[in-house]
Amino acid sequence: GAVVSQHPSWVICKSGTSVKIECRSLDFQATTMFWYRQFPKQSLMLMATSNEGSKATYEQGVEKDKFLINHASLTLSTLTVTSAHPEDSSFYICSAFGYGTSGRASRDTQYFGPGTRLTVL
Amino acid sequence: GENVEQHPSTLSVQEGDSAVIKCTYSDSASNYFPWYKQELGKRPQLIIDIRSNVGEKKDQRIAVTLNKTAKHFSLHITETQPEDSAVYFCAASLTGNQFYFGTGTSLTVIP
């Protein structure tokens, strides 16, 4: 399957600072990426859908000014948590579907990154 | 929008027994149903998927069935092994669009 990476894997920051998380598709072009948030022992909650070259679509209840998403290229999307607070502490996971190196389109399957654990003190 | 329900939330089975996890969905337009396995602190991994034009799909010890009329689909794991212990998520989607995930099932296989 396609490979998606995330960086950093774990970050601890002070309250009020901003944190940027990168999501990269390593062997395919990701026209669409998704950002999820996951609390312990809970399901994945979709935060936003990121399309290359256009503005992200945020889910209801997700503050777009707090969670800034940029999808500047077909292999990179970034999520910036601005002025982070302890309640923003969570596991953030990105996913992507796009076209594989074989040229075969895969508009069904989402490939997930390894996740980023954010702890805000 | 789509609403996916998943049962049970926790499931314990003896090694070698079968495990069944069930999901229902609400939007009849959904046409793609993947199942993911997530180990603690790791990314969800696709284990099997099924499209709406198929009623059943099998891959070794794992099978998925889909009943479009009733809008439910199930994951079947046979001959369970301790390494099958994880959280399993079902999802429903319309091709090219967002996934709607179930709430997850924590499976424990007892040696």
Long-range contacts of the stretch A52-55 (C-beta < 8 A, 24+): none
Please say whether the dihedral angle defined by the alpha carbons of residues B42, A58, B5 and B91, taken in this order, is positive or negative. Answer: negative
Is the Cβ pair A109, B46 closer than 8 Å? yes
Average per-residue pLDDT for chain A? 89
Residue among B51, B95, B98 whose CB faces A46 most closely: B98
Question: What was the pLDDT predicted at A98?
Answer: 59
Q: What is the dihedral of CA B84, B86, B87, B88, to 10 degrees?
A: -20
Q: Which residue, chain included where needed, has tokens 């997530």?
A: B38
Residues of chain A above pLDDT 70, percent = 90
According to DSSP, the residues that pair with B72 across neighbouring strands are B24, B67
Task: List Cβ neighbours of A70 (8 Å cut-off, separation of 6 or more).
Answer: A50, A77, A78, A80
Query: What pLDDT, in 10s, does the model give residues B15-64?
Result: 999 999 999 999 999 999 999 999 988 999 999 999 998 899 999 999 99
pLDDT tier for residue A95 given thresholds of 50, 70 and 90: very high
Rounded average pLDDT over B81-109: 93
Question: What was the pLDDT predicted at A66?
Answer: 96
pLDDT tier for residue A102 given thresholds of 50, 70 and 90: low
Residue among B41, B93, B103 whose CB faces A43 most closely: B103
pLDDT tier for residue A109 given thresholds of 50, 70 and 90: confident
Tokens of A45: 């909650």
C-alpha A29/C-alpha A32 separation (Å) is 9
